Amino acid sequence: MAILPAIPLPQCQCLFAGNKDGLLRDARRIYAYIRDNFTCGPDQDIYVSDDLYRINKARKGAVEDLNMLLIAMLREKRINASPDIRSTKPFGTNPARYPGKQNAIDELPRSAKVAYNGDEGFFEYLIQASGTNVQMRSHIKLNKAYFPQEDYNSLRDLFAYVVKKQTEQIVFKKKK
């Protein structure tokens, strides 16, 4: 999902002008303004269905629209706000994709830690199983941002290894 830039909204600029009570109070007032002055329609998708200016003018929109309007108004007041997609447990579970309690872990990729050019960085891939749970951590650290041309091959090899490790599969087997 693309993060929208701050959009100047005329009512936002004048509605909260002169408020110097702090960012939290500003955020609460903006939230209350949207809650009390806008009509919320049904969910449609995770994307904005119309231009935020039109949503503001019509004083109505889908949940996604009003969330993006809230973020735009918060950003207009220089309050750090970013969209976050969340799901409730019933919607976040897909038994067809994620082998629930009827399967057991048969095989895991091996954990690995690889140094890059001595002490110039590393790649760490840790994976472990506990019962039916799998915990995985992948960490890449490079100690510099500029790489001379002679380092390109070793850097390419490092990232090829990263991709190889991160695409290794976990094998499940049916419980009997």
Is the same domain home to 109 and 72? no
CATH number of the structural domain spanning residue 147:
2.60.120.1130
Rounded distance, CA 147 to CA 59, Å?
A: 52
Domain that holds residue 61: 10-76
- DSSP for 41-105 reads -----SS--S-HHHHHHHTEE-HHHHHHHHHHHHHHTT----------HHHH--TTTS--TTEEE
Residue 155's pLDDT band (cuts 50, 70, 90): very high
Q: What is the pTM of this model?
A: 0.44
Check residue 43 and give its pLDDT: 67
> Tens of pLDDT along 24-51?
888 899 999 999 999 888 766 666 677 8
Model pLDDT for residues 105-114, shown as the tens digit of each residue: 889 999 999 9
Q: Which helix (H) or strand (E) holds 26?
A: helix 23-37
Six token digits for residue 175: 């419980």
The per-residue pLDDT for range 5-25, each reduced to its tens digit, is 344 444 444 444 554 468 888
Same structural domain, 64 and 111: no
Q: Which CATH number covers residue 58?
A: 3.10.620.30
Are 64 and 121 in the same domain?
no
Burial of 171 (0-12, 13-18, 19+ CB in 10 A): exposed
Residue 92 lies in a domain: no
* Rounded percentage of the chain residues whose pLDDT exceeds 90: 28
Examine the domain organization and report whether 107 and 169 are in the same domain.
Answer: yes
Residues 64 and 120 in one domain: no
Instruction: Give the mean model confidence (pLDDT) for residues 64-83.
Output: 86
User: Do 109 and 168 belong together in one domain?
Assistant: yes
Per residue in 85-106, pLDDT (tens digit) is: 665 555 554 444 555 667 788 8
CA–CA gap between residue 20 and residue 101 (Å, rounded)? 54
